[in-house]
Amino acid sequence: MKNLAPAIFPPKGIGDAKPGNEAVLDWVHEIAILTEPENIFWCDGSDRENEFLIAESLKQNVLIELNQDKVPRSCLHRSNPNDVARVEQFTFVCTPTKDEAGPTNNWSEPRETYAKLRGLLKGAMRGRTMFVIPYMMGPPDSPLTKIGFEITDSKYVVLSMRIMTRMGEIALKRLGNDSHAEWNRGVHSLLDVNPERRFICHFPQDNTIISVGSGYGGNVLLSKKCFALRIGSYLARTQGWMAEHMLILGVESPEGRKHYVAAAFPSACGKTNFAMLIPPAHFKGWKVTTVGDDIAWMQIRDGGLYAVNPENGYFGVVPGTSYKSNPNAMRSIAHDTIYTNVALTDDGDVWWEGKNGPPPAHAFDWRGDNWTSQSKEKAAHPNSRFTTPMRNNPALDADIENGEGVPISAIIFGGRRSDTVPLVYQAFDWNHGIYLGATMASETTAAAAGAVGRVRRDPMAMLPFCGYNIGDYFQHWLDIGKRLTNPPLIFNVNWFRKGADGTFLWPGFGENMRVLEWIIDRCEGHGGAVKSPIGWLPSPHDLDLAELDIDHNAVDELLGLDHEEWQKEIAAHKEFFDSLGSVVPEELQKQRDQLVGRFKL
Ligand code: SAT
Ligand code: MN
């Protein structure tokens, strides 16, 4: 087999940050005996280490150099063309019983799965370097913060984890030497990057993740979907907090009143854009700041919900990102960024569909093949990504390191729906809000392998990320609600509704501020709304649409309910709950009955 990750040999003082914790050392030892690496590299996350690893990666073609005048300190990585997105069909939750994984997860028996994975990992790192990455999820002084270790044979994973997490010394310090301390064990090997030997396996009871056969994104940056969401959601339930697939943003009015909202949209539905929103000129004096763009860990304090972003960077979709759609993202990725699967121009710059300016006449596409502006194929892969430190974001919230978290005024659910679902509406109460989340659906995107554009139910945008039985997850939301005396209000949004001619009715991007303002108004107890069968709907004059070029009919359509469409929608809710078997809590069945009843009034 061709060695896909040849070993590297660091000079003295690099790669020797061995932790003092005996439990970690024992585990690393055990994995090393199994995988037989050429050497072990103990990461400390320092600049010196990072520079060394980038230099080695350039030598080994793991990274491609970019024009340093155009994108300083940035590189391009090309993944194997068979390995460009999360693979949900090869993702497993390995709980002792199938029931615990529930109807929405692929389950496999833990003992058999460990045995199979051990077989695949046997000798897998021969001739390679085994990296040990200590990392911390969450701000240094938060009770929510957790420690993970990832063992990997991929330099790209090490470089990416340094951006995406608080890596190195800081994590070792927080963990300390207590051999009974809680920490996540993550093992990753590229193997031979073969889809037939690609498995992403979670063992929630053991706080363990094993991922083999992929080198891409959520499959291998184990801190992200694997730990912060799948294992995280399991820990959150047993420990009484919440791990959610949500962005967190701050919004401050010209008078200086500040709110935070958390929003759950499926992958590649605009969480990063919403989290970095720049209010249009009409909203002079309003400010939106980013706490997180993908994951929220939330705890109850004083009867309310407080959120931290466990991550340290953004792994965002590149195509479509421009100074028009997301200026803050463009500024963030202008330097110190790893690009994956975008196109490379002849002058060493990066390019993608939807970037500002005309396409280059010639470029190398995401596979490295010749591409011209006449080519039918896309130059950048639709799921091409940037990995960039959150500190690059000009709109970063000042409270990002606040260990108590930021108080959440509103939770927003949303997805891509061409029809049926209005631009925005508000749930009647917490439990009704859970129903909105539990029944949300979205047209699928390139973020996961498989068909694109198919409507699928994606409860709370957690369908691929809930690490235990979805019925118990719904119940956990209900139980959290019982402990909240000051719960966030819950909303649903849909930026993607289309008119009869198939074009989007709503301009989206910065103009979403108009919807956000209504949400904030509702949280403050003003802001008009009409009662509808599905929840509180703004009437056209409840939204500030001044200086927006949109016609009245479009607004009516955006805020309208088509009863026929909703009969189909409710039938789809029922079908979805039925497909889950008997796990859906009574309360949510009751919510559906009430919804049906309200349509009959
Ligand atoms: O590849 S990731 O899972 O990290 C990105 C996503 O699907 O949101
Ligand atoms: Mn995501």
Paired tokens of 213: 């056969």
Atom index in ligand 1 nearest the CA of residue 268 equals 8
What residue ranges of the chain have pLDDT lower than 50? none
Which among 457, 439, 470 has a CA at the least distance from the CA of 534?
439
The letter for the amino acid at 2 is K
Residue 21 pLDDT: 98
CA dihedral over 261, 264, 269, 272, signed as positive or negative: positive
Say how many Å lie between the CA of residue 590 and the centre of ligand 1. Answer: 34
Atom index in ligand 1 nearest the CA of residue 225 equals 3
Residue 2 pLDDT: 75
Nearest CA to ligand 1 atom 5: 218
Say how many Å lie between the CA of residue 200 and the centre of ligand 2. Answer: 16
Ligand nearest to the CA of 225: 1
- How far apart CA 569 and CA 427 sit, in angstroms, is 17
- How far apart CA 382 and CA 377 sit, in angstroms, is 11
Contacts of 485 (CB under 8 A, 6+ apart): 303, 304
- How far apart CA 425 and CA 185 sit, in angstroms, is 41
First-to-last CA distance in the chain?
A: 68
- Given the residues 94, 226, 269, 523, select the one marked as catalytic: 269
Ligand nearest to the CA of 293: 2
The letter for the amino acid at 291 is V
The letter for the amino acid at 212 is V
Contacts of 103 (CB under 8 A, 6+ apart): 469, 470, 471, 579, 580, 581, 583
Say how many Å lie between the CA of residue 316 and the centre of ligand 2. Answer: 8
- How far apart CA 381 and CA 364 sit, in angstroms, is 12
Ligand nearest to the CA of 315: 1
The letter for the amino acid at 142 is S
Paired tokens of 569: 């929608």
Backbone angles phi, psi at 405, to 5 degrees: 90, 170
Pairing of strands 247-252, 258-264: antiparallel
Strand partners, 350: 344
Query: What is the rounded (10 degree) CA torsion for 332, 274, 289, 459?
Result: -120
Q: Fill in the DSSP letter of residue 248.
A: E
466 has catalytic annotation: no
Residue 3 pLDDT: 84
Residue 97 pLDDT: 98
Say how many Å lie between the CA of residue 294 and the centre of ligand 2. Answer: 5
Q: Is there a contact between 430 and 487 (Cβ–Cβ < 8 Å)?
A: yes
Pocket of ligand 1 (CB under 6 A): 86, 217-218, 224-225, 267, 315, 447
Nearest CA to ligand 1 atom 2: 218
Say how many Å lie between the CA of residue 267 and the centre of ligand 1. Answer: 6
Nearest CA to ligand 1 atom 8: 267
Choose one of 86, 229, 317 to mutate for the ligand 1 pocket test, by most ligand atoms within 8 angstroms of C-beta.
86
Say how many Å lie between the CA of residue 321 and the centre of ligand 2. Answer: 16
pLDDT tens digits, residue range 520-542?
A: 999 999 999 999 999 999 999 99
- How far apart CA 4 and CA 189 sit, in angstroms, is 11
Type and span of the H or E element at 121: helix 110-121
Nearest CA to ligand 1 atom 4: 218
Neighbours of ion ligand 2 (CB under 5 A): 267, 294
Choose one of 224, 385, 444 to mutate for the ligand 1 pocket test, by most ligand atoms within 8 angstroms of C-beta.
224
Nearest CA to ligand 1 atom 6: 267
Say how many Å lie between the CA of residue 390 and the centre of ligand 1. Answer: 16
Ligand nearest to the CA of 218: 1
Residue 1 pLDDT: 59
Atom index in ligand 1 nearest the CA of residue 267 equals 8
**Residue-level length of the chain:** 601
